[in-house]
Structure formats: C-alpha cells, structure tokens
Structure 1
Amino acid sequence: MDSKTVNKLRTELQASQASGKSDVMIEILKALKDELTATEEIIRETKIGLAVGKLRSHDNKEVSELAKEIVKKWKSDVGKKAPSKVKQEGASSGTTASSVTAAAGDSKPEAPRTYKTDGVDFEKHNDKTRDTCLSLLYNAMVFDSTAPSELVMERALAIESTVLNDNDGSTGEDYKKKIRSLMLNLKDKKNPSLRGAVISGDTPADIFSRMSSADMASEERKQQDRALELNNLFKARGAGPQQAETDSFKCGRCKQRKCTYYQMQTRSADEPMTTFVTCTVCNNRWKFS
C-alpha cells in the first residue's frame, strides 16, 4: 500500500469519524491492518498514525480495539526494519518504533488544530469582520476534530452566511453577538456532541445558526437546568396552598405511594394547573400538568 492510498484512507477515516459512521471506520481500519506494512517514512509522511492513534479511545469497542491492534502492529513493523536502517544510516534506535509511538499520539499531545496549523486561507469575503468571524467558527469546530479541513470550512462558511443573512447583510453588533454565542458553544469541551453534529451535518448550518444558547446546551446541562427550574418552582410555593397527603401517586424512584402534593397556576389562566408531588419516603420530586 503506497502513500497515496494511505492518504486517501486517512481522509476517508477522518470523514467517517466526523459523521459517526462506525461501520465505515471498521472497514477502513481492517484494510489498514491487513494491507499496510508500516515504514517510518509512510507513518511520518501520511500522518496515518495520528489518525488511527486517536481512535484507541473511541466509544465503539470494535473501533478502539482495532486501532490498538494496528498501532501495536505498526510499531512491530517499523521495529523489524530497525537493524538495517541503523547499519546503513548510523541512526539511533530512537528513530524507529518510537516514531510510530509519537505519530500515534503517545508522546507529547499535539497542539490544538487551528486554521493556521491546517494552512487554511480565510480571506474569502474581502471583509475583515466576516473573515475574522469565519476563522473563529473554524477554530471552534476543528480544535479537537479529525475531520477534513475542507468539510469544516464548508460548515463554517454556511454558518457565517446564515447569520449574515439573518441580520440583513449587516456585520453590526447583533451579527457579532450571534457569532460569538455560536463560537463559544461550539468550542465547549463539555459538549463534543454539538461539534460532531454540526460537522457531520446532522445539525444543518441554517438550523444551528438560529439556535439559542439553551438549545445548544449539552444534555447534561439541560438536565441540570430542568432540575434547577423544578427546585425553584417548589421553593416559590411560599405561603401558597398547603400540601395534602395522598396515595394516588406512585413514586418512580422507590415505588411507594406515600406522597404529598399541591397545585399552582404556572401558565396562563386557560391552561390546567401544575401539580407538584413529593415522595415522603425518598424525597423524590416531580410535576405534571
């Protein structure tokens, strides 16, 4: 397998990772394992070791196991060639199998990807504000991604254009504020699923560009917000209706029917009242309308 083929497989592997296609990733990894006899030159030239090395911690067990096997095999491949290389070039053994270790990400972690490290040109619009915002969006998506730069660039262009159109072609304060909000949510290290969905296209650029901060929040954050809202509603009861005991409700946590409840009008007058229930056994709380 030559460098050109390996480069092609690396691009396909990164694209399938960005789109979450584990079956495609597995197929590519198997081809690399069976058909590529690693050399130091190929590993360094194609950077395939880095692409595969990152997959050793992938959520899909088959993907992660294959990646570990491949890196181990490549280290062995390069190590077998070490004696002749040392003899011919007088090189130290540190430039052989250790090069695979470094290429696979086992040494110092690489600096985060940016448009500069990717060599991307952002002078697209002959407008400094737009080009700067475009670069910020790109950096927010790519810093921990292995997706091809062309794909990330495509998404950044679509997002920036949507925000511009929504602001009637103006790059004023509202435009900058929205770009800033999108950028900060995209680069949130605790919300990788948002980046992945935008890059893969599962969340289209036009929909993402119009999301609020609450819409973009991670599932963990949304659950925390819902719990806080519910807790505040319980606290806001104040001197309102007294709680009544009942066995009409079954606790979802402890399955007991020892509860207290009260009702409040939390929405408009023509909407039904909201019932707040507390389990007296485990203190679980829930509400319904």
Structure 2
Amino acid sequence: MATIKKIELIKQSMSKKVASGVEILSDDDIETLKDMLQQLESFDVNLEILTKTLIGTIVSKFKKHEIIGPTAKALVKKWKSIAKGEVTNNNSNNKGEEEEQKPAASAAKTAVAVAAAVKPKRRNSTNAATAEMREQWFSLQPYRQTTCQKLHDILINTKTSLIKQGINPDAIDHLVVERATDVEQSIQAKFLSNKTEYLSKARSLCFNIKKNSSLACQIILGQIPSKKLVDLSSEELVNDKKRKEIEERKKQVMDSNLLDWDTQNEDKINEMCGITGDLLNASLFTCGRCKSTKTTSTQKQTRSADEPMTVFVLCLACNNRWKFS
C-alpha cells in the first residue's frame, strides 16, 4: 500500500533523529519533525497500517520534547482510539467469526500498546475544566500548541508568589491554563493570516512576561485583559526598573540633540570638569599687563580666506587690548 510505504519512509527518517538524540534536536530538525508529524496526521490509517509499520513506537519517543511533544501525544492518542475502535467493532461480530478475529484482536492489542507506549503523566490539578482545556491545545496547529505551552510554563513560575498572597494553588493552576489559552487566542485573532507576525508577537510576549514577574501576576489575576496585552508594545511590557532606564536614555538622546544643550547644562559641565570659584569667570587668555584671567575675546577674518581668523582680546580688569593671529 502507498500509505504504508510513505509511513515507512517517515519512520526511517524519524528513527535517525532519535538515534542522534531527542534532547539535542536543532531548530532545523524540529521544523522537519513538525512537517513529518503533520504528514502522519493527514494519513487515513487503520489497525493494519499501525500494526505493520509500528510507527507508534517512534512517534512516542518524541512525546517528552518541549516543542513537538504535544503534537506527538495527540497523534498517539488518535491512533490508540482508532485501534481500540476497530477492536470493539470486531468483538461485536457473531461467535462464528471469533476464530478469525483472534489474530486481528491480538494485533490490535499490540498496536494499542505500541501507540500508547508511555501514557502521559496525570496532571496534579484535579480541576476537570483545566484538564479539558489543555486537551483542546492538542487540536491546534503545532506552532500554536507551542505558544500555549510556553505561556503556561512562564506564567506558572509565579505560582509561589501568588500562593504567598493567599490564592488557592488549584485556582492558580486553572487560571494559568485559562490565561495562556486566552492570550494565544488573542494573538491568533490579531495575526490570523500572518504566521510570521504571529510568531514574532508570541516570542516578544513570552520574553517580556518571563522578565517581568509582576506583569505575569497581573495577567493571571485578570488585571490585564488578553486583548489589551497583545496590543502593548515591548517598551510597555517591561518592568518598572527597565522602563525608567529606557526613559532616561531617551531623555539623554533628546537633550543631546538640542542646539543649546551646552548652554542649558553649563552648570553640570563645569561641575563634571571641576571648574568652580574664580575659574568660572576665567577665560583662555591671561592679560600680559595685569595678569588677570578676566578677559573676553572675539574673532575676525582680517586676512585672506585661507588664513586663520584673528583673535582680539580685551582685559576686563585693566582695559588692555591685544590680538592673536
């Protein structure tokens, strides 16, 4: 069968990735595996195909991976349901066909065991709504599953802080899943037709929420709606300390662009350079007659244009005048 051959080829490629190490997959490997899993999901498989290819044994190897794990789990679960469904149908036939069904039933059990491989660990949360919501993630596209999981992992890090505020741990578990789902859906709604912009916004949100624990708490407690969160810029997402640093840098840049910046900041410049007391009134020139530094000067072009300008100096103490050329 053509489907079996295609699955065998995919299985062979995935086996190489397993051999090289699931924990150290490169970004290119992850993208390739995502495509393979999508292809496997599109195939119309049955008990015979699952038994002959044993594809479940390979796919199960990736269930613990952070990025492609959710997709692998969902696929194994789907195959398990298919295998169980065919076994149930076979068992509903009459007794005269029981002998013929035994090999198929045995193969079905093998396929179910292979597809199930390692069952997903039960979540600590006893909240059925939370578990059901997380199950819904598996029906999403792989990159959306990844976004939901990353948002969840980042938000759950604030659990200890929220417990200290007197919030029930089970309530936090439920809220974290709910908020992660809401935020992801808001990103998807805003960038529905542009995957690149979706991923860019998702990465930006994950990065900034991870760096700003107070923001994460506000999201969990519903103080910042998910739609408003998605519209915030990177500067608006940073914590207060970082925001002050950004504002200070902006102010410095704006000040440096002012034409009269040196005049407005003369006192600061003098202080930084150690110019105080009488030195504030001193100039670059010293009078040759009274040795005073209280002088003023002007420049004029008295010679040809390619010659330097002539400096005329006036002593404010004795009214002595002289020039430098």
TM bucket, shorter chain: 0.3 to 0.5
- After TM superposition, the score normalised by the length of structure 1 is 0.41
